[in-house]
A and B are shown apart, each in its own frame.
Chain A
Amino acid sequence: MRMTPTLVVLVAALALCRCAREESPVPGPREAAARAGLSSHDEHAPHDAHAPHDAPEAELAALTAAAESGDVDAQVSLGRRYLSGSARLPADVGQARAWFLRAEAARPGSAAYDLGRMSQSGKGGPADPVEAVRWFELAASAGSADAMFLLAGAARSGTGLPRDDARAIALYQRAAAMEHPEALQALALAYLHGELGLTIDEAESRRYMAAAGHALQHHHR
Chain B
Amino acid sequence: MSKKAKLAKLALVAGTTIAVVSALGLGVVPSIRESYASRAILTQRVQVDSAGSSLFGDGSTAIGSPQLMIIDDPKAVVLGTDKSKVRQVDDSYLQAHKIYPLQLKTVDFTINLVRMTMMATFVFGLFVALVAKNVRAKASNPA
Are A and B physically bound partners?
no
